[in-house]
Structure 1
């Protein structure tokens, strides 16, 4: 499947001249967009239907820049709803969705495509109530607002090493330059603030997971947590630093304002809490560290997970075939047996439809007797034999 359909599905919508929404095939809408390299860029605009332009004019500023850089920029809008004591129901929300798109020159994910909206929101860690634009995996809200003429479009990320060059990261009683970190250390950038309740709730699980990773794998013993604070006062900043002090975290200093403001753009962060993992050279390994942490709170590596899976799935030997549901519930540990019995992969429904033909049954009720292996057809006239010999007496 093409990357555009993987992101947005097969159909987008757009406001027509009459104000009605029209369906447009995703591949047609984004035909000249490229995932990497030279060509039109696809931007994903996350907006909130119950936040007016007067409260946050990002949508207005985006449209101004869009008109300057189009057709180099194609936009797909994802209309969300900020749940801040809003009593509106589905009808009101769909009306808000339509209002958000009237007169807009770009496309949008359909109102009822909730799965795509949820997946995109989670993929890019979108903060509730903060409209933003994501380009090639990076949030560029701040970069766009700082460049109203679009002169630096598509706002490439500043190199991480440049942002942190010469910055004395602060630890518990010591400081260290970013370039002095061990050359084999994975860097875990934690974006947080004390005023953010989810950040305060997330910090303990983050510290536990990081401690587990360092203990379990010598390869990751030097993994370094680096705090990037969004606090509004130095007092709050110090509290955030304290929340991760148990794992010897380093923090971008309160005084290094330029670096603290540049890092979210450099690493594609749109909201907090956020967890971004990079290699020692600055390559981003994942911007969805929180999602990975939630899925693997013990910090199991691929090797450890491979060792743990047989026990978790009840496997005693190999070869073995275990089927699970999407939620992880075990459907069967006897996949090999089922495969041998059903090599064509017939489902229960398909098997039910195929059996009459396989056993020569033309109508119902019918009673067919076979050998235990199913290979020998004993009789298709079971009803007749039962009527003649109801007690099952052999002659």
Structure 2
């Protein structure tokens, strides 16, 4: 576990001790029954300033209960200058990532936990390094006395059990109705234009799967703002729904870290997560031939990859788009992509090949890349950096060396959008 955390935050973090700053070795925070919170926050952010005192109270109470040995928080600053960081950190009783103008470790943490807004509190198991929850903020807000801490991820079946509504408006027990089925949890709302655009396509896919005898069901998890809006939207759907206003809606959002809609989460027949980005899979698989849409290590770069590009470091091998070019790209990247995907939640780099989708031209134009093909590139949108392979003949060995240099931090980067 210590190595995992060190890779993210470095070997040491800091604690204020009176007027002095004390360095704390990260490995000392890890161990059996330890929980480490990563707190993304900034003084300029009003919601952060409102949440931090509540977190301080909880932290102090929890430290007393645990004799000061099992729970720690590391502050990751989103402040805009070092003075603001120091002033804000001085109000906190916990540790911090040293102020880093180059944003090296902050960038890694932001990408790993897909931080799009603050405040955000991520809890990590100090023994095995696995993420306990990415939504500690909501957990503490809903449980100010810390009930259920450290809010370990529940099984889907634990959260969803209870009454659900069928398309003919009868009420059934969720566990009984969904038992042994592949389930798609559809997070959506009538007020959301992208949801209204995606829903007809999802209905078509649903009906296609049903006609092909697939043992599956979809469940609408609504973000509608009124019962009337819920009813109006649900009336257009052929599947089931969590009742409007049911507390399981927020519980399911928190369980899967749903920040935006529409989202489709795929669950297997044993209640295990298959794919958190089922929406993109559906868009790509118009004939539903790849149902239930297990994630693939290597994918074509299309419009549905925009979320991944914005949130994570992505390697792309651009080609001319001919069948032989695509075959070459798949051959070159498949092993590397598989190795990286096997890291599970520790995956840091995602793999794509570019053919002739419009996004290939848009991304190349945005990054001011020339028309060379093949062209091997790593885009790091969160860090606003790009790494371009200088080789023109891309082989397996060239690609592997390029990726190795990236992870070793020996690759030369340039700004993603060159300044004029």
Place the TM-score, normalised by the shorter chain, in its bin.
0.5 to 0.7
Whole-angstrom CA distance in 2 between matches of 1:144 and 1:227: 26
Cα drift, residue 14 of structure 1: 2.7
Matched, 1:263 2:252: yes
Distance 2:330 2:115 in 1: 43
Counterpart for residue 107 of structure 1: 95
Q: How does 1:224-243 map to 2 (within 5 A)?
A: 224-238=217-231, 241=234
2:385 match: none
1:1-395 paired onto structure 2 within 5 Å: 2-6=3-7, 8-11=8-11, 13-17=13-17, 28-34=25-31, 38-52=32-46, 57-70=50-63, 71-80=69-78, 92-109=80-97, 110-112=99-101, 114=103, 116-118=105-107, 120-121=109-110, 123-126=112-115, 128-135=117-124, 136-138=131-133, 139-150=135-146, 152-171=148-167, 173=169, 175-193=171-189, 200-201=193-194, 204-205=197-198, 208=201, 221-238=214-231, 241=234, 245=236, 248-254=238-244, 257-265=246-254, 267-269=255-257, 271-273=259-261, 275-286=264-275, 289-290=276-277, 293-294=279-280, 297-299=283-285, 301=293, 314=325, 321=332, 328=353, 330-331=374-375
Query: SS of the counterpart of 2:252?
Result: helix
Give distance in 2, aligned partners of 1:80 and 1:280. Answer: 41
Provide the rounded CA distance (Å) in 1 between the counterparts of 2:176 and 2:249. Answer: 19
> Aligned Cα RMSD in Å?
4.8
- Rounded Cα–Cα distance in structure 1 between residues aligned with 2:322 and 2:231: 44
Which segments of 5 or more consecutive residues in structure 1 lack a partner in the other structure? 82-91, 347-395
What SS does the aligned partner of 2:247 have?
helix
CA distance in 1, matches of 2:259, 2:295: 32
Deviations 1:304-360 (A, max 9, x none): 998989965626699964799977463489656x97xx9xx89xxxxxxxxxxxxxx
Q: Is the 8 A contact 1:48 1:79 kept in 2?
A: yes
Rounded to whole Å, the distance in 1 between the matches of 2:118 and 2:298 is 40
Structure with the higher fraction of residues in strand conformation: 2
* Distance (whole Å) between structure 2 residues aligned to residue 126 and residue 101 of structure 1: 20
Structure 1 residue 270: Cα displacement: 6.2
Structure label with greater radius of gyration: 1
CA distance in 2, matches of 1:140, 1:222: 35
Distance 2:113 2:296 in 1: 28
Counterpart contact for 2:39–2:120, Cα < 8 Å = yes
Task: Give the number of equivalent residue pairs.
Answer: 313
- The TM-score with structure 1 as length reference comes to 0.59
Distance 2:56 2:260 in 1: 26
Residues 1:220 and 1:210: Cα distance change in structure 2 (over 3 Å): farther
Distance 2:114 2:296 in 1: 27
Give the 3 Å change call, closer, same or farther, for CA 77–207 of structure 1 in structure 2.
Answer: farther
How far is 1:10 from its partner? 1.9
In structure 1, C-alpha distance between the alignment counterparts of 2:280 and 2:148, rounded to whole Å: 36
Note closer, same or farther for the CA distance 1:241–1:130 as it changes in structure 2 (3 Å cut).
farther
SS at match of 1:156: coil
For residues 273-300 of structure 1, what are the alpha-carbon distances to aligned partners after superposition, in whole Å with 9 as ceiling and x for unaligned? 35543333333345xx24x755884046
Find the aligned partners of 2:199 and 2:152 in 1 and give their Cα distance. 29
Is the partner of 1:99 in helix, strand or coil?
Answer: helix
State the distance in 2 between where 1:123 and 1:322 align: 22
Quickly say closer, same or farther: Cα 1:22–1:305, change in 2 above 3 A: closer
Distance 2:218 2:185 in 1: 6
- What's the offset of the Cα at 1:253? 0.5
- Deviation, structure 1 residue 167: 0.9
Unaligned 5+ segments in structure 2 are 64-68, 125-130, 302-320, 337-349, 355-373, 376-390, 403-420
- Aligned residues of 2:76 and 2:96 also touching (Cα < 8 A): yes
